[in-house]
Chain A
Amino acid sequence: MKRRWIAGAIGVLAVALAACAPGGGASGGASDGGDKADAGKVTLSLWSWRVEDVKAYEKILATFEESHPKIHVEFKPFQATEYNNILATGLSGSGGPDVAQLRAYGGLQPLVEADQLLPLDGKVDALSGFDAKLLEGAKGHKDGKIYGVPFAYQTLQVLYNKKLFGDNGIQPPATWDEMIAAAKKLKAAGITPFAVAAGPDATWTLPIVHEIFGNARYGGTAFRDAVLGGQKKFTDPDFTASVKLVKDLEPYFPKDVVAVKIPDVQALFATGKAAMYPTGTFDLAPLLKADPSLEIGVFQVPPPPGSPETTPVTPGWADGSFGVNAKSAHQAEALELVKWMATPEFGQLYATELKQLSAVPGVTPSDPLLAEMAKNYAANGAPYTLLVDFRYGQPNGDAVFRDELQKMLAGQTGPEAAAESVQKGIEQWFKPGN
């Protein structure tokens, strides 16, 4: 009992500790180290939340060091769930990184507003060639300055099991009704049509599921612009109808979906017990790792009847960026590194080594599935608006929406009430027209 009490106290006070320990002691970087044996060589410290990517980054950074012999880069990954606090603390002291992987959109703002990052406007020329949608993720919300070089983006679509589709005589659907017919057929054959989880670990994926099925239904980019401009609200009938789609599709989700967790549905899909998996690019690599022989196809959800947007849409967002510590002792070298991160050389290495969609313009993924996702996004991409535009204040729109969607699936609320809650949540801080 005492232990639990202490653990509770530590939990309660963690934020206080995280904020009051400048430098972070043990996590100190090597920014002012320098290689003694090799005079004049500068060591940069690069922080990241990708513990699983160490090998790939070492390979990528070796290429950088070949063309920049005076710079040595040390890649330091931290636990993703702790990273935000570690980085905020590291940037405030002297032991911090020179270059750091930064969260996008709302997640970037605490660092920007605390003046911890160097604005890159006019310093990294290649940024002008980047996709404007992706650059938004690396900008300060208030000052509009660019604080990082975007490294990747995520797209949302439905992955499907080619073998199961073939066995059941199903083609990737061209219309909404075809998709429902396919789902019915699969369900009758004892296969879970859509691998969707809504359990305790999965609430964050519910707005993603809504985006995949409902983006075209609420009107994609046009609706988003209207909400930002103040002409429309989330209580709009089109948005409400898009929320209702998730409830309508529930019969084709796993049974008791509110108790189903992410690993459960990944297992369902990877073992051929579920045929379609509405998810992001980020799930492709883990799925193929679980079973490399899995034959996966990809399709965009056809717009349901009544949609303002009549062509299929691929929602997406910028994953994050690389920025420079405002207190770095080696800013010139750090800028060299982020400049290189905006080149196709880095982009191509990144896409190949990490099986992700590079944000650098002109880079084509070698993986055919990723290439298809990238093509779809380029042709008809739309912002995942609750993540992209409504995470700049508390409560963030995405967080309210995920709770409401889970409530709806648990039978505790309806689409109208869910949409109203989202509107009420963002109105606490969001003023249209800014």
Chain B
Amino acid sequence: MVQARELSAPRRRAARTGAGRRYVPRWRVLAVFLLPALLLYSVFIVYPLVSALDYSFFEWRGIRQVGFAGFDNYRDLLGIYPYDEQLWRAFAHNALFFAGTMLIQTTVGLLFALLLFRYGRGKRFLQGAFTTPYLVDPLVVGYLWSLLLNPMFGPVNALLEAVGLDSWALPWLGDTRTALPIVVLVNAWQWVGFPMLLFSAALAGIPAEYHEAARVDGASAWQAFRRVTLPLLTPAIGVVSVLTFIGNFNAFGLVYAMSGSTGSPAGSTDVLGLLFYRVAFVEGGVEAIGRSSALAVLMFVFIFGVSMLATSYFRRRERKLV
């Protein structure tokens, strides 16, 4: 809306100075800008979402609907072995994946942003370097890291052995204890540039007077950060949290590239995206469409719901700042 108001101001001025242009109602201008996006959004997001909801309530035989199923697909998904176990396991892994990523990516991202803000040397280069990984598709990143971590031919273990850390040369992606943390680390590595950029922008937007005032009042560097900088970063933290949450609960490409469709080893990296992929495509049973649509709907409802709650929470915090 802000943009719209700014847009219309010069136009009105133009009309007043009599530039000879006919008055165009505001809604038409808006429509011209909004319709293409709305159309694409409807065709590629809204329509499939609604049809997934529709599909999840029918019984399927291949691609033939054979009748209304009510909540049967949902019941199957929550009640049939092994989905009943895999669903909650995958959900827990998504939660860990999100928690781990937030912890590492946000703190490291904030640290980088603060360091770059304070010591400006090489800022452009470093900002570019830190953000490069997220220009690459998660599938590619996952594949690269699985090559690097390969226990037989991978350079990571070769390097560890070369410097005498033989006991550290573990089968990183083949051990149920290390696989998920490694995937989390790689994910954080890939996305760390994103919070860094947002925090950098937010830091640049905090007036220098605030810090000066804090210093005059005798605040230590930590107190100034804790009481002045951090609260003012709330909007950026909110955006980072919500987007990371959405991305992490929809995670697929990276995990698929590093752990295959079964969340190898022994399901220790299984996430909801992989479970969906298996139910929908890998096993390919006659009921696949109904059950996978039901899972897609559950995922959407959860992600959408939590995102709305989180957004409203952060908005309330922001309002307190003003």
Contacts and interface: CB of A to CB of B under 8 A. Distances in A.
Interface of A: 1-2, 4-5, 7-17, 19-20, 84-85, 88-89, 92, 106-107, 109-116, 198-203, 254-261, 264, 268, 392-396, 399-400, 402-403, 406-407, 410, 412-413, 421, 424-425, 428
A198 B266 CA distance: 10
B166 interface: no
A393 B288 CA distance: 10
A325 to B, nearest CB: 14
B174 interface: yes
B298 to A, nearest CB: 11
A252 to B, nearest CB: 16
B171 A113 contact: no
Interface stretch (B17-25, B48-56, B200-208, B223-231): B48-56
25 contacts: A1-B247, A4-B138, A4-B247, A8-B247, A8-B273, A12-B250, A15-B296, A16-B49, A109-B286, A110-B61, A110-B63, A200-B264, A200-B265, A256-B175, A259-B171, A394-B283, A395-B80, A396-B283, A402-B262, A403-B82, A403-B267, A407-B265, A410-B265, A410-B266, A421-B82
B38 interface: no
B262 A406 contact: yes
A106 to B, nearest CB: 7
A20 B51 contact: yes
B311 to A, nearest CB: 14
B266 A256 contact: no
B252 A256 contact: no
B151 interface: yes
B252 A8 contact: yes
A200 B292 CA distance: 22
Contacts of A13: 45, 48-49, 52, 296
Q: Which of A12, A107, A257 has the most CB of B within 10 A?
A: A12
Contacts, number: 199
Contacts of A202: 260
Interface in B34-87: 44-45, 48-49, 51-52, 55, 61-64, 80-83
B211 interface: no
B283 A114 contact: no
Contact of A92 (B44, B63, B279): B63
A395 B283 contact: yes
Contacts of A413: 266
Contacts of B82: 395, 400, 403, 421, 424-425
A371 to B, nearest CB: 33
Contact of A259 (B61, B173, B267, B279): B173
Interface string B238-279: 000001101100111100001110101111100001001111
A393 B173 CA distance: 31
Interface residues of B, number: 68
Given A12-B250, A109-B62, 9 more contacts: A1-B246, A4-B253, A16-B293, A17-B48, A112-B62, A203-B264, A259-B174, A259-B175, A421-B82
Nearest to B263: A200
B153 A258 contact: no
Given A110-B62, A406-B265, A12 B52 contact: yes
Contact of B244 (A1, A201, A203): A1
Given A88-B62, A114-B63, A428 B266 contact: no
Contacts of B152: 254, 260, 264, 268
B282 interface: yes
B61 A113 contact: yes
A394 B285 contact: yes
A202 B260 CA distance: 8
B252 A394 contact: no
List 7 A-B pairs, minimum CB-CB distance, nearest first.
A259-B174, A8-B250, A200-B260, A110-B62, A114-B62, A256-B171, A259-B171
A9 B250 contact: yes
Given A259-B265, A400-B82, A199 B283 contact: no
Nearest to B303: A8
Q: Which of B55, B247, B266, B282 has the most CB of A within 10 A?
A: B266
A428 B80 contact: yes
B146 interface: yes
A110 to B, nearest CB: 3
A272 to B, nearest CB: 15
A319 to B, nearest CB: 16
A29 to B, nearest CB: 17
A10 B45 CA distance: 8
A258 B276 CA distance: 23
Contact of A7 (B62, B81, B252): B252
A258 B264 contact: yes
A256 to B, nearest CB: 4
B287 interface: yes
Nearest to A85: B281
Given A16-B48, A114-B62, A395-B82, A107 B284 contact: yes
